[in-house]
Structure 1
Amino acid sequence: MTAPVAMAELWRGGLLESTHLGHAVICHADGEVVRAWGDPNAVIFPRSSCKMLQALPLVESGAAEAHGLTDRQLALSCASHSGAALHAGTVGRWLSDLNLREQDLRCGCHMPWDTEERDRLIRAGEAPCQLHNNCSGKHAGFLTLNRHLGGDAEYLEIDHPVQRAVKAAFEEVTDETSPGYGIDGCSAPNFATSLQGLARAMAFFAGARDDGGPRERAAARLARAMAAHPEMVAGEGRADTELMRAMDGVAMKMGAEAVYVAILPQKRMGIALKITDGHVPAAEAAIARLLVELGVLDAAHPATRRRLDAVQTNWRGIETGVFRTSDGFTA
């Protein structure tokens, strides 16, 4: 196994304070590995970075079309949203259209990450509900697919028709048999794969055409929906939303424990990376560096500068250091 490589560093007082290591792969839609760092065969849990894979059966099966889902809803099905009123309200209306309720979700409750909605709940003395869960859009997609397939209410069970469809799509697009699965924060199965398999899947999305077969058309629509509605994929102030707004047609998605993927249709390339210590700012810096080097993200854009070669300041606004990508980590 090849060792992970240095990807991001924190410098303070002219000295190197911390180094974050990782693995990364860039794949072309023709299956070629364009560039790799560390071990492309490192097996990881993609966590939420693979939500577009989990949403593939929703579109490919015809369920999305049968229920009239919009691109905004499809972007939300791939989201780790902030639980803002925009997100929770959209999921609530989606469930109502299915004649379902918030209680039909199986993702669990947590306080919204969106400060405005969080503060509203606190002022009103209200508890968050499952609509605020960052994965509620994905689960609304699962419920839509479940309605189409005719499964029972427990759509997260590993042998449920919904999860069987997700696993089949996941393994076919990564072109790997998953060695196993873990349970994600939202209680859904999360299938393991290699970085190369995950990058291969993102390259498939990047090369997918509207005049291709059902799976290609589904992948093209999901990638386009994410790029067109970045506010639904994450939320204000967050890397996915800000960086997608700074680019043209690129879809990207973070996953817990510092996983990142990107879909570059104009390059017909997919990227997957993992910071081994789970440091999310390092993953944000690393993906931004690759996107800049590949010519799809402007290094001078404010969204980029907040994550790439970012100056660190303390509570008094005094500069304390700089967080940057490591020398040699370029595309």
Structure 2
Amino acid sequence: MSAPVDLVEVWRGDMRESIHQGHAVICDAGGDIVQAWGDPAAMIYPRSSCKMIQALPLIESGAAAAFGLTPAQLALACASHRGAVIHTAPVNAWLDDLGLNDDDFCCGPQEPRDVADRNALIRAGKAPCRVHNNCSGKHAGFLTLTKHLGAGPEYVDIAHPVQMACKAAFEETTQEDSPCYGIDGCSAPNHASTVHGLARAMAFFAAAGGRSDVRSKAAASLVQAMVTFPELIAGETGACTELMRAMGGKVAIKTGAEGVFVAIIPEKKLGIALKIADGATRASECAIAAILVKLGVLDVNHPAAKARMLAPVANWDGLVTGRIRPTAALT
């Protein structure tokens, strides 16, 4: 097994102060590795980066069509949103359409990461609800599939039909038998894969537009939903939203907790997966931006790219004291 390699460094003044190591893989439509850093066989939890895979059964089952789900709702099913009104209002409307309410969610309440909406809740003296959870769109999708299948309410249980369908989709797209699972921050199971397996799954999504089978059509519709509604995938100031906008709808990207990031590049039929060993988000955002620049799909001079690849380190007086940047291995 190969060790993680230096991917992102933090400079203060003229000295490198910190280093973030990790693994990354670029995979082609055939599942083969185009380029890799570190160990492609490193086993990881994809966390929220695999929400597109978890949304496949929602479409494949016929549930999305039966309930008339829109592309915006499909985007929300893939989102790790910031709990702003632009996210919570449509998710609440989705629940209403299902005849359900906030209590039917299995994800826990979460304070909005959107500052304006968080402050509005505080001023109103209201507590965050489950709909504010960054995964509430995914859970609305789970509830839709649950209702379509006529299954029980504990849809996050590993033996529930919804989660059995998610596991099958995960193992089939990664082309790996997952050795274990953990419980994610939203209480849903999260299955482990190698970095290569996750990149292989993203390459499946990237090449889906050229195929006509049910799963490929589902994958292509999810990718299109993500790039059409980047503001729903994260929200203002979010890396996923800003970088997808910077690439003009040509690339879908998705972050996951603990330093995971993936990308889907349909025009090149490439999938990318990366994991920062110490779980740092600042490093995963820098690394994914650097790889996208390297592949020619992100302009290095775009403000969204510069904000991640040359992210300023500022002190409390606003003085820029250093930079976060990719290592020579990525550039």
Using the size of structure 2 for normalisation, the TM-score is 0.98
Q: What's 1:170 paired with?
A: 170
Query: Which amino acid letter does the alignment assign opposite residue 106 of structure 2?
Result: R
1:84-104 Cα shifts (integer Å, max 9, x gaps): 011111110001001111111
Q: What's 2:288 paired with?
A: 287
Query: Which amino acid letter does the alignment assign opposite residue 318 of structure 2?
Result: G
**Take 1:16 and 1:237, find their aligned partners in 2: how far apart are those partners?**
27
1:65-98 Cα shifts (integer Å, max 9, x gaps): 1111111100000011000011111110001001
Contact 2:40 2:195 (C-alpha < 8 Å) held by counterparts: yes
Query: Which amino acid letter does the alignment assign opposite residue 171 of structure 1?
Result: E
Query: Which amino acid letter does the alignment assign opposite residue 235 of structure 2?
Result: G
Contact 2:209 2:266 (C-alpha < 8 Å) held by counterparts: no
Q: What's 1:259 paired with?
A: 260
Q: What's 1:75 paired with?
A: 75
Query: Which amino acid letter does the alignment assign opposite residue 284 of structure 1?
Result: E
1:269-306 Cα shifts (integer Å, max 9, x gaps): 00000000011111000000000010110111111111
**Take 1:159 and 1:262, find their aligned partners in 2: how far apart are those partners?**
30
**Take 2:75 and 2:225, find their aligned partners in 1: how far apart are those partners?**
5
Unaligned runs of 5+ in 1: none
**Take 1:239 and 1:123, find their aligned partners in 2: how far apart are those partners?**
28
**Take 1:250 and 1:209, find their aligned partners in 2: how far apart are those partners?**
13
Instruction: Report the CA distance between 1:150 and its aligned residue.
Output: 1.2
Q: What's 2:106 paired with?
A: 106
Q: What's 1:181 paired with?
A: 181
**Take 1:197 and 1:246, find their aligned partners in 2: how far apart are those partners?**
27
Instruction: Report the CA distance between 1:317 and its aligned residue.
Output: 2.5
**Take 2:229 and 2:65, find their aligned partners in 1: how far apart are those partners?**
18
Query: Which amino acid letter does the alignment assign opposite residue 130 of structure 2?
Result: Q
Q: What's 2:62 paired with?
A: 62
**Take 2:320 and 2:127, find their aligned partners in 1: how far apart are those partners?**
39
**Take 2:267 and 2:3, find their aligned partners in 1: how far apart are those partners?**
31
Instruction: Report the CA distance between 1:173 and its aligned residue.
Output: 0.4
Contact 2:9 2:327 (C-alpha < 8 Å) held by counterparts: yes
Contact 1:273 1:287 (C-alpha < 8 Å) held by counterparts: yes
RMSD of aligned residue pairs (Cα, Å): 0.9
Instruction: Report the CA distance between 1:315 and its aligned residue.
Output: 2.4
Moved more, 226-235 or 314-323: 314-323
1:138-196 Cα shifts (integer Å, max 9, x gaps): 00000001111111011011000000000000000000000010000000000000000
**Take 1:32 and 1:175, find their aligned partners in 2: how far apart are those partners?**
12
Q: What's 2:322 paired with?
A: 321
Query: Which amino acid letter does the alignment assign opposite residue 291 of structure 1?
Result: L
**Take 1:131 and 1:261, find their aligned partners in 2: how far apart are those partners?**
25
SS in 1 for 2:309: coil
Contact 1:6 1:329 (C-alpha < 8 Å) held by counterparts: no
1:98-125 Cα shifts (integer Å, max 9, x gaps): 1111111100101111111111111110
Instruction: Report the CA distance between 1:328 and its aligned residue.
Output: 2.0
1:215-264 Cα shifts (integer Å, max 9, x gaps): 00000000110011011000100100000000132100000001000000
Query: Which amino acid letter does the alignment assign opposite residue 14 of structure 2?
Result: G
Count of residues in correspondence between the two structures: 330
Query: Which amino acid letter does the alignment assign opposite residue 258 of structure 1?
Result: G
Unaligned runs of 5+ in 2: none
Q: What's 1:307 paired with?
A: 308
Moved more, 175-184 or 27-36: 27-36
Contact 1:210 1:217 (C-alpha < 8 Å) held by counterparts: no
Instruction: Report the CA distance between 1:209 and its aligned residue.
Output: 2.0
Alignment pair present for 1:268 and 2:273: no
**Take 2:124 and 2:21, find their aligned partners in 1: how far apart are those partners?**
44
Contact 1:46 1:255 (C-alpha < 8 Å) held by counterparts: yes
**Take 2:35 and 2:28, find their aligned partners in 1: how far apart are those partners?**
10
Alignment pair present for 1:132 and 2:132: yes
Contact 2:21 2:278 (C-alpha < 8 Å) held by counterparts: yes
Query: Which amino acid letter does the alignment assign opposite residue 288 of structure 1?
Result: A
Q: What's 1:241 paired with?
A: 241
Q: Which segments of structure 1 move beyond 6 Å, counting only runs of 4 or more?
A: none
**Take 2:46 and 2:178, find their aligned partners in 1: how far apart are those partners?**
12
Query: Which amino acid letter does the alignment assign opposite residue 219 of structure 1?
Result: A
Q: What's 2:17 paired with?
A: 17
**Take 2:94 and 2:144, find their aligned partners in 1: how far apart are those partners?**
9
Moved more, 320-329 or 271-280: 320-329
Contact 1:230 1:240 (C-alpha < 8 Å) held by counterparts: yes
Query: Which amino acid letter does the alignment assign opposite residue 238 of structure 2?
Result: R
Instruction: Report the CA distance between 1:211 and its aligned residue.
Output: 5.0
Identity rate, percent:
61
SS in 1 for 2:144: helix
Q: What's 1:143 paired with?
A: 143
Using the size of structure 1 for normalisation, the TM-score is 0.98
SS in 2 for 1:285: helix
